[in-house]
Amino acid sequence: MVPVQGKVSSDIPKWQLALLLGVPVTIGAAGLYYYYKKNKSKKNANNRGESSKGSKPDQRSDEHVEKKPSTPNEIAESLKTEGNIFFKKGQYDSAIEKYTRAIEACPKESQQQLSTYYQNRAAAYSQLGKQQNVLEDCTSALEYNKFYVKALSRRAKAFEAVEKLEEALNDATALCMLEQFGNQSSIAFADTVLKKLGKTKARDLYASRKPLLPSKAFVKNYFTAFVNDPLIRTIVEEDTPLRQALELIKDGELDNIETLSTAELSNNDSKYHHLALLLRATFHMLSMSSENALSDLEMLLREKESAREIKSNALIKRALLKMQSANRDGAMKDFDEAEQLYSDNADIYHHRGQIYLLSERMEDALREFEKAISFAPECDVAHAQKCYAEFRKMSEINPAKKQEALNNFENISKRFPDSAEVSALYGQALTDAKDFEKAEKFYDKALEKQTDSGMLYVHKGLLYVQWRNDINAAVEMLQKAVETDPSCGFAYESLGSIEVQRGKFQPAIDAYTKALNLSRTEEEMAHIYSMVAAAKAQVSAAKYMGIEVN
C-alpha cells in the first residue's frame, strides 16, 4: 500500500492546498486570480456593469421624463423604461416587445445602452425559459460591453441550462475574475458547474476507457493488501499454465497472465479451474478492464463447488470493482456476504476499513482494522492503517492526543522495521503533524525498501512544498516518480497542480490529461477531469480578460 491521499497541514492557504493536492476549490481558478490581480489593467467601473446578483433587468436611468422624447437615444430609453414596467408586472412578452423596439431605435454607436437593452431582453426570455434566446441576447450584450457581469452571469446560467457545461464554466471563471472573487454566489455556481462537468465526462470516459497494464510496483502493492489471497497462498506443484502465471504475478508481471489463465481454463481436466478464473478476473481488474473482470467474478461466484477461500476473495474483489464505479451499497453487500461465508478472513475487514478511512469514517475504519488484526496479527499494512486512522481521529476530536497516536506509530515501525508500507504511512502522519524532518527520514526509509514506488516520490515531493515551499525540489521528486513508474497518475496530477500554481496552464493541462488517462475509478476520473476543465477555463478566461498566460 501507499500513503493515503488528500490531507496536508491545515494552515496552508486554502487555494494553495487545492493546487498542491488537486482538489477543486473555487473552480481551481485561484492561481489565475493572483496572476490577474498583478496584471489587470484598471477598467472603468461602468464597463463592468452591475452585480450579477438577481434576475431583474437593468433599470438605470428609469426616472420618468416629463418632456416627450425626441432624439433616438431618448426614444430608446423611454421604450426600455416601459419594458421594465411590464417586466415588473410579469408581462414578459410585452417587455420583450418594448426591449426589441428600444434596440431598433437605439443608434449603433450607443454601445452602453444597446448592451443594457439586450441584457434586459435576455432577462425576459429567461423568465419564459427560452434559453437559446437568452444566449443570443447575452452574447449581443457582451459584444457591446465584454465586461458586463450581469450579461456574463446570465449567459453562464443559460449555458448550464442547455448542458453546455464547458461554455458555462468559461463564463463563470471570467465572471469570478471580474468580480475579483468577491461574490460567493458566483463562486458557488462555478463550483457546481465544475463538479457537474467532471461527473458527466467521467461517466463517458470510464465506460469507454481502454485496458491499461499497471506497473510492477502497482501489482506488488496490490497484493500486499491481501493476506489470504489464494493466488498468493496456493502452491501449484504441477507444471501447468496456471503455475507459470502465478509465478509471473508474484514478480509483478502481467503480460501473459490472460493467455496462461485462459489456457488453464480450456483444460477440462484441470483441478484449478476456479483458481484460474479468479486469476483472470484479477488480471482484468488490474488492467482496468472492469466489465471482463466482473464477468469472470460473477461466473466464479455462480460455481457452487468453489472453495470458500476463493469465493470470499472473489466477493472482496467484486466489492472493490463496485466501489470503482461508485456503487457503494452493492460493495457493502458483497463485503457482508463474504463475511457470512468466511468470517475469519482478515482481508474482508482490512479492505472495508480502507473504504471507511477514505470516506472519513474513522470510528468504523478503526473497528474494521482491529478485526483484521485479530485474524492476521502480523499484517503490517493493517497495523499501519489502524495507526493512521487513530492519528486522524485524534486530530479531529482531540488534537492534544495526536502525540499518543504518533507514539503508537513509532512502536509499529519498530515492530515492522522492513515494511515500506508502515514507514510510508508513518511519514504521512508526521507530515500532517508538521514534523517534516522526521517525515523525510521515514519516506527515505520506505524508498530504501521499495525503490520502484512512484507514489513515495510523489509524497516526498509534496512534503518539500509544505515544509520549505521548495517547488524545484518538489518537481524533481515528481519527475523522479514518473521516471520510476510511468503509470503513476498521482504524480502527473501533482505536477499539474504545481504548474497551475506557477501560472503555467498549458503544461498543467498536459499533466492533468496524462493523469486522467491513468485514473482507475470513475470518481477519480471526475476529480481529474475537473482539474483539466478548470485549467482550460482559466486559459479561456485569461484570453477574454486580455491577460497573457503560459
DSSP assigned state of 26:
G
pLDDT band for position 173 (50/70/90)? very high
Phi-psi region at 392: left, alpha or beta (left = phi > 0; alpha = psi -120 to 50): alpha
Task: Give me the domain span that covers residue 242.
Answer: 229-344
Q: Give DSSP secondary structure letters for 211-276.
A: P----HHHHHHHHHT-SS-HHHH----S--HHHHHHHHHHTT--TTHHHHHHHHHH-TT-TTHHHH
Band the pLDDT of 351: cuts 50, 70, 90.
very high
pLDDT band at 35 (very low <50, low <70, confident <90, very high): very low
The pLDDT of residue 398 is 81
Residue 219: per-residue pLDDT: 87
Can you give the pLDDT at residue 131?
A: 98
Residues 125-136: what's their mean pLDDT? 97
Rounded to whole angstroms, the Cα distance separating 550 from 545 reads 15
The answer to which of 23-27, 79-83, 416-420 has the lowest mean pLDDT is 23-27
Cell of 356: 471507511
For residues 234 and 331, state if they share a domain. Answer: yes
Contact 341, 308 (CB under 8 A): yes
Angle at 273 between CA 268 and CA 278, to 5 degrees: 150
Q: Across the chain, what does the average pLDDT equal?
A: 87
Q: Is residue 185 part of a domain?
A: no
| Residue 546 maps to a domain | no
Report if residue 330 sits inside a domain: yes
Half-sphere CA count of 59, side-chain side, radius 13 A: 14
Q: How far apart are CA 277 and CA 258, in angstroms?
A: 10
Say yes or no: 237 and 328 in one domain. yes
How confident is the model at residue 134, as a pLDDT? 98
- 237 shares its domain with 338: yes
Residue 5 lies in a domain: no
Task: Express each pLDDT in 271-316 by its tens digit.
Answer: 999 999 999 999 999 998 889 999 999 999 998 888 999 999 999 9
SS3 343: coil
**Count of residues in the chain:** 550
Q: Into how many domains does the chain fold?
A: 2
The predicted structure's pLDDT at residue 420? 94
Domain limit, last residue, from 115, 146, 177? 146
pLDDT band at 67 (very low <50, low <70, confident <90, very high): low
Task: Give domain status of residue 428, yes or no.
Answer: no
Q: In this structure, are 233 and 338 located in the same domain?
A: yes
Does residue 174 lie in a domain region?
Answer: no
Determine the pLDDT at residue 19: 28
pLDDT score of 370 = 97
Please check whether residue 21 lies inside any domain of the structure.
no
Q: How far apart are the C-alpha atoms of 440 and 221, rounded to whole Å?
A: 21
> What average pLDDT does the segment 467-496 reach?
94
Whether 88 is covered by a domain: the verdict is yes
Instruction: Quote the pLDDT of residue 285.
Output: 92
Domain containing 101 — which CATH number? 1.25.40.10
Is residue 10 very low, low, confident or very high in pLDDT (cuts 50, 70, 90)? very low
Of the three residues 295, 317, 344, the one that is the final residue of a domain is 344
> In the predicted model, is pLDDT for residue 31 greater than 70?
no
Domain final residue pick, 344, 374, 395 = 344
